[in-house]
Chains A and B, each alone.
Chain A
């Protein structure tokens, strides 16, 4: 009855994704450091950070929801990951399509916000407000990019989108989808929470926003969640626009390529204020997105 191969695959991918997610975070820090002519921390630094946080002697809590928020966020990230076709491992991807995955990738945000809100800290509240407004702002271009993609390939299934790209060329080679790609890449910056859209955490402005109250094992959970989310989102990008991958190495190269674009953009742009971000998202990315969807009708 139980499909042991699938179970092993799931466990393997989860461990791999968490590990690689941490490495991606490390790459991010290292690359940022090199751009500013610093040496930077070793590439495995985020793993050490997380282990340190887990080893704290005591954590504080503001109640049940405060604990549940990060747990729920990480759970949702794991669930989202399981519905993505990771290279040649299909996992559960035939059971949920693009819309479901796109939604699942947003659920962790709700978990983090839920926990942050229950702390009652004003910085958290400002962070939550900014986070939701960023989400509202980016949702329209994000949706348009996905719609263009679906209309072009004529299917919602991620597995089929990958298969079609293997035979007919990557999404970005189609002119209309190239526009969608540009839109998605701009939105991606906000999805990862990097400059110029790192409005949610905004370390220098509102001292980490939603995460301000979290320490100890809660912070460790959020770090791990971020690692998994980073892996899932870069993989999602590669699946949608870069033709997926037939093995983990190929996927890794594409993920790192996507990540580097994000890092390069992030390291040279300062942060938008929230109303600037809203106005920006509703202007150029939306116009490009509308052109893209109209070209693919």
Chain B
């Protein structure tokens, strides 16, 4: 009997390999979906066990002991990833036409779930690399430049992590999380690990996890990588894979939280190390949201938006209170479901129209009504409209940040949510409303598997929005105490309340009253889009009345000064310089001149002589 944890982790990979090897149309989709469904089924089955005890499994390979554990927190992350994973599989059944995609998409599924369940750095790092590699391969197929950018940054992150693990291993002699945690806890009072080493390890881990989470200034890979791949896969890429970074920050708390507190102390009443994470998050939220508003490509817009939303998670974790952790963990779920949904909607649009630029689209709401409804749910959830999941999690983050007396960080959330409003409306306007370009006349509704995938992610948006207590009750179990009170429908923090059900009811009552006024009025007559006010002039189909380009031009003008600076260009320049340097090195040393090679030999001999070897 194979252990359940192994099945959870490796079922997708096995299914991916089978689907790739068989490569029979129809069958590979079926195998892929089944493989993606297995983890969720097992996680659901293990739920009653997990809430009372942990499920452990360890396995010895080449002298290393790999440990996996399912506890309340890892179960939560793994379930979120599996939920997005199954939606991805359904989506890919429509959008992906090759077995290559199935292999690597499911491989990264394994990587992500494995990272969440790992309890030691060996398996953590191995699966982390598997996840990076698989996602890199997904991007590589479409765009080499973007994939290499992603790969190089990921490698920098991964090896920063490897060095940090090395230092920790040298200091503690352990690789499993539990021993490291205890050793760090004891070390906080002993202080054998110097301040400099602690700061170094912290900085290395920040780099490692910051790259995956897409924190500014390590976010530059995200817009390219998120857009240059199968959009159904991006559901998982941005919905679950970016959470590995967020999970890493949480791991930092678990392993080294106390040690970091003892070493770095506090800053104006905040934990210094957490404060750094909070500001990283706040800057990410603001920068990425501003950039999202100014994008002209539907995929780029959501890529930046995804970076910004992960910033909220980092910010919430950085608040440092248990309420902040609860808010961040809730946002992990809600971001996964609404952003996953967004990418599926994008996948449907791109699949049916073949276009990605806002300037080519418009008036699709008539042609794809179900997709539009799903997109609207995602929009409302992301913008934080009360009875949806996105609001509940954002509300917790607001409460946490303001209660922890981080006013400027909380100000960043306010600004970020205003910007979120702006960019989702841009998406609504340019894609769904207005005049329809004549080449989109025969667009059809998205295929069934994609619609199923959307429904899988739309339902949690609604359910956890109206009943956020379902989530917070579980989060209380993770955090070990009554962090967020209330019942299924009501969230209660020490200083505030939010009754989602009542808000829903009030909204329904309000809409009902407004609807009655509407019905009382005279009958309506439907007129076409072109029958419209144009300063009293007649309009025909040839006029393009929808503003599709540079919608937020005034904002770009107001931000002119800031937009002159770009991390993207900075990295490109750095890469260019490195390349030139490597080139000049090659030309200087391997110059083809025999005499210079003999000179090298002479110099080496001279050094050895001076050293006293000869």
Contacts of A61 in B (CB 8 A): 524-527
A99 touches B398 (CB 8 A): yes
Cβ of A97 within 8 Å of any chain B Cβ, yes or no, is yes
Given A121-B545, A151-B402: A156 in contact with B507 (beta carbons within 8 A): no
Given A135-B421, A293-B411: A156 in contact with B554 (beta carbons within 8 A): no
CB B578 to nearest CB in A, in angstroms, measures 37
B525 touches A58 (CB 8 A): yes
A121 touches B411 (CB 8 A): no
The distance in angstroms between the C-alpha atoms of A18 and B44, with both chains bound, is 50
CB A97 to nearest CB in B, in angstroms, measures 4
A82 touches B386 (CB 8 A): no
The distance in angstroms between the C-alpha atoms of A145 and B534, with both chains bound, is 40
Contacts of A55 in B (CB 8 A): 522
A133 touches B407 (CB 8 A): no
Q: Which of A110, A212, A221 contacts B518 (CB 8 A)?
A: A221
Contacts of B538 in A (CB 8 A): none
Given A139-B414, A148-B407: A75 in contact with B510 (beta carbons within 8 A): yes
B495 touches A156 (CB 8 A): yes
- B509-544, CB < 8 A from A: 509-515, 517-518, 520-529, 531-535
The distance in angstroms between the C-alpha atoms of A169 and B65, with both chains bound, is 65
- A58-102 CB mask vs B (1 if < 8 Å, else 0) is 111111010100111111111100110000000010111111100
B510 touches A212 (CB 8 A): no
Contacts of A297 in B (CB 8 A): 268, 405, 407
Contacts of A139 in B (CB 8 A): 414-415, 417-419
Cβ of B456 within 8 Å of any chain A Cβ, yes or no, is no
Q: Which residue of B lies closest to A132 (CB)?
A: B422
B496 touches A129 (CB 8 A): no
Cβ of B391 within 8 Å of any chain A Cβ, yes or no, is yes
The distance in angstroms between the C-alpha atoms of A297 and B409, with both chains bound, is 13
The distance in angstroms between the C-alpha atoms of A255 and B69, with both chains bound, is 59
B366 touches A74 (CB 8 A): no
Q: Which residue of B lies closest to A91 (CB)?
A: B506
The distance in angstroms between the C-alpha atoms of A113 and B558, with both chains bound, is 23
CB A160 to nearest CB in B, in angstroms, measures 9
Q: Which of B398, B435, B497 contacts A157 (CB 8 A)?
A: B497
Contacts of B527 in A (CB 8 A): 60-62
- Interface size, chain A (Cβ < 8 Å): 91
- A101-114 CB mask vs B (1 if < 8 Å, else 0) is 00110110010011
Cβ of A245 within 8 Å of any chain B Cβ, yes or no, is no
- A148-183, CB < 8 A from B: 148, 150-151, 154-157
The distance in angstroms between the C-alpha atoms of A76 and B383, with both chains bound, is 15
- Contacting chain B: which of A19-27, A30-38, A41-49, A271-279? A271-279
Number of A-B residue pairs, CB cutoff 8 Å, is: 265
Contacts of A117 in B (CB 8 A): 425, 428-429, 433-434
Q: Which of B421, B535, B545, B557 contacts A120 (CB 8 A)?
A: B545
Cβ of A125 within 8 Å of any chain B Cβ, yes or no, is yes
Most chain B CB within 10 A, of A54, A58, A95, A293, is at A95
Cβ of A263 within 8 Å of any chain B Cβ, yes or no, is no
Q: Which of B402, B513, B547 contacts A150 (CB 8 A)?
A: B402
Q: Which residue of A lies closest to B395 (CB)?
A: A99
Cβ of A202 within 8 Å of any chain B Cβ, yes or no, is no
A128 touches B425 (CB 8 A): yes
CB B365 to nearest CB in A, in angstroms, measures 7
Q: Which residue of A lies closest to B515 (CB)?
A: A71
Contacts of A146 in B (CB 8 A): 414
CB A255 to nearest CB in B, in angstroms, measures 21
Q: Which of A75, A121, A216 contacts B513 (CB 8 A)?
A: A75
B522 touches A58 (CB 8 A): yes
Cβ of A143 within 8 Å of any chain B Cβ, yes or no, is yes
Most chain A CB within 10 A, of B366, B383, B425, B506, is at B506
A121 touches B533 (CB 8 A): yes
The distance in angstroms between the C-alpha atoms of A266 and B507, with both chains bound, is 32
Given A72-B511, A97-B497: A120 in contact with B555 (beta carbons within 8 A): no
Cβ of A251 within 8 Å of any chain B Cβ, yes or no, is no
A121 touches B502 (CB 8 A): no
Cβ of B552 within 8 Å of any chain A Cβ, yes or no, is yes
Cβ of A140 within 8 Å of any chain B Cβ, yes or no, is yes
B399 touches A99 (CB 8 A): yes
Given A107-B386, A125-B429, A139-B415: A151 in contact with B521 (beta carbons within 8 A): no
Cβ of B188 within 8 Å of any chain A Cβ, yes or no, is no
B518 touches A119 (CB 8 A): no
Contacts of A65 in B (CB 8 A): 365, 433
B499 touches A95 (CB 8 A): yes
Contacts of B525 in A (CB 8 A): 58-61
Cβ of A217 within 8 Å of any chain B Cβ, yes or no, is yes
Q: Which residue of B lies closest to A224 (CB)?
A: B517
Cβ of A123 within 8 Å of any chain B Cβ, yes or no, is yes
Q: Which of B413, B434, B509, B545 contacts A78 (CB 8 A)?
A: B509
Contacts of A221 in B (CB 8 A): 514, 517-518, 521
Q: Which of B363, B402, B503 contacts A83 (CB 8 A)?
A: B503
- B434-472 CB mask vs A (1 if < 8 Å, else 0) is 110000000000000000000000000000000000000
Q: Which of A118, A132, A151 contacts B405 (CB 8 A)?
A: A151
Contacts of B383 in A (CB 8 A): 110
Q: Which of A95, A98, A126 contacts B490 (CB 8 A)?
A: A95
Q: Which residue of B lies closest to A123 (CB)?
A: B533
The distance in angstroms between the C-alpha atoms of A218 and B442, with both chains bound, is 32
CB A12 to nearest CB in B, in angstroms, measures 14
A119 touches B422 (CB 8 A): no
B557 touches A74 (CB 8 A): no
Cβ of B408 within 8 Å of any chain A Cβ, yes or no, is yes
The distance in angstroms between the C-alpha atoms of A290 and B415, with both chains bound, is 14
A79 touches B507 (CB 8 A): yes
Contacts of B503 in A (CB 8 A): 79, 83, 95-96, 100, 104
Q: Which residue of B lies closest to A296 (CB)?
A: B407
CB B251 to nearest CB in A, in angstroms, measures 30
The distance in angstroms between the C-alpha atoms of A163 and B487, with both chains bound, is 26
Cβ of A253 within 8 Å of any chain B Cβ, yes or no, is no
A290 touches B408 (CB 8 A): yes
CB B567 to nearest CB in A, in angstroms, measures 22
Cβ of B57 within 8 Å of any chain A Cβ, yes or no, is no
CB A282 to nearest CB in B, in angstroms, measures 8
The distance in angstroms between the C-alpha atoms of A62 and B545, with both chains bound, is 14
10 new A-B pairs (CB below 8 Å) besides A94-B497, A293-B407?
Answer: A58-B525, A59-B524, A60-B527, A75-B509, A95-B502, A119-B532, A139-B415, A147-B411, A157-B497, A290-B408
22 contacts between A and B (CB under 8 A): A59-B524, A61-B526, A62-B528, A67-B524, A74-B511, A79-B510, A82-B506, A95-B503, A103-B385, A118-B432, A120-B434, A120-B545, A125-B551, A129-B552, A156-B496, A157-B495, A217-B522, A221-B514, A221-B518, A278-B555, A279-B558, A296-B407
